[in-house]
Amino acid sequence: MFSNIQIAWPLLLLIIPLPLILRWLLSPADNNRDALWLPLLDNYHQISKNKRFKQSTLLILAAILAWLLLVLAASRPQWVSEVEGLPINGRDLVIAVDISESMRQTDFEIENQLVNRLEASKHVAGQFIEEREGDRISLIVFGTQAYVQTPLTLDRKTINIFLDETSIGLAGGKTAIGDAIGLAVKRLRESDSDKRVLILMTDGANTAGEVGPDVAARLALEAGLRIYTIGIGQQQEQFEPNQFAIPDTYGLDEKILKYIANITGGKYYLASDTEEMQGIYEEINRLEPVLSEGEQLYQYRELYFYPLACALILVLFSQLYSRQFLF
């Protein structure tokens, strides 16, 4: 129990002998000089010697204890409890998710249930986010336009809540890949971290936006942003429409996704099903590892008010105790 208590300002304990030093250095009072007149002095002299000795002893002990408690309070005793630290690695990670109309394609499975591409992406990305303890993570969604869904934060629970609430068509029906990258660059440009990563997930080609994907990729390179691109769906020659398919006019532009990844030092992946997508995120976890050990954190609770309160009670007791001998 006492191993959790520490003194924040231990040097203040050196003033404990100060009253004795002052008593030794200062000359005693001159009894021949006029002193303060006490109106009840006559009553005081009527107290027996034994009672006076008892009173004097108790008051001296109370004064000594009160002084020790005051010095202890001034030295700031604290209760220190250790808390689990986060494995801070200084990485800023942005996840950009395509929510255009083409993501309605129902060609992925989760637990043998057919789901659309966005639901599969949210399912796998959510698991990935849970494992990224210590990263500052931001979520960007894009369709015809790109939006920051959540700013950089260590709060993975909040990130996943906003990811789950993301719906298709919220940002328009087209695909602005370049704008999504440009927005990530803008958000990370002022970051102090030297580890900046963007994971971009899309199932289409760039069909909207003010910035082309090639231009945005060069801006990302200048900003030190490494991009991992994940193409969702099948290659164009492998694609076979089914009754759940949504017409996809443009298809997956693997060429530009590979270019974006290569120029920024990242890697391109193709996810044709949920298992492949999970494997991709596992590989990114290995390429961008989270530190296993974090900075040790401690929680401090001030305890000075306990000795301070005890000292005040002793002073009050001394005053009341001395008065009963005077009256």
pLDDT of 60: 79
- Dist CA 306 CA 69 (whole Å): 9
Per-residue model confidence as pLDDT tens digits over 102-146: 999 998 999 889 999 999 999 999 999 998 887 899 999 999 999
Report the domain count for the chain.
2
Per-residue model confidence as pLDDT tens digits over 2-35: 677 888 898 988 988 888 888 788 766 555 555 5
- In terms of average pLDDT, the best of 76-90, 112-126, 221-235, 249-263 is 112-126
User: Residue 6 to residues 1, 16, 79, 134, 230: CA-CA distances in angstroms?
Assistant: 11, 18, 7, 29, 52
282 domain-assigned: yes
Region 180-186: mean pLDDT is 95
CATH number of residue 249's parent domain: 3.40.50.410
For residue 100 the two structure tokens come to 């255009």
Neighbours of 90 (CB within 10 A): 13
Region 175-200: mean pLDDT is 90
As a whole number, the mean pLDDT across the chain is: 82
Of the candidates 229, 143, 144, 136, the residue with the CA atom closest to the CA atom of residue 187: 136
For strand 5-7 and strand 77-83, is the pairing parallel, antiparallel, or unpaired?
Answer: antiparallel
182 pLDDT above the threshold of 50: yes
- In terms of average pLDDT, the best of 56-65, 197-206, 236-245 is 197-206
Same domain, yes or no, for 189 and 133?
Answer: yes
34 domain-assigned: no
Beta bridge partners of 82: 298
Region 181-203: mean pLDDT is 90
pLDDT of 241: 42
pLDDT of 266: 95
Region 244-273: mean pLDDT is 81
Between 283 and 2, the higher pLDDT residue: 283
Percent of the chain with pLDDT over 90: 44
- Dist CA 315 CA 321 (whole Å): 10
* Three-class secondary structure assignment of 33-102: CCCCCCCCHHHHHCCCHHHHHHHHHHHHHHHHHHHHHHHHHHCCEEEEEEECCCCCCCEEEEEEEECCHH
Confidence of residue 219 (pLDDT cuts 50, 70, 90): very high
Region 175-189: mean pLDDT is 93
Per-residue model confidence as pLDDT tens digits over 242-257: 433 333 444 789 999 9
- Dist CA 33 CA 244 (whole Å): 109
DSSP label at residue 288: S
Same domain, yes or no, for 95 and 78?
Answer: no
pLDDT of 28: 63
Domain range for 73 is 2-26+39-82+306-326
Same domain, yes or no, for 46 and 131?
Answer: no
74 pLDDT above the threshold of 50: yes
Of the candidates 250, 288, 283, the residue with the CA atom closest to the CA atom of residue 268: 283
Same domain, yes or no, for 78 and 159?
Answer: no
Same domain, yes or no, for 61 and 148?
Answer: no
pLDDT of 248: 42
- The continuous run of DSSP H or E covering 245 comes out as none
296 domain-assigned: no
261 pLDDT above the threshold of 90: yes
Question: Are the C-beta atoms of residues 185 and 219 closer than 8 Å to each other?
Answer: yes
pLDDT of 319: 78
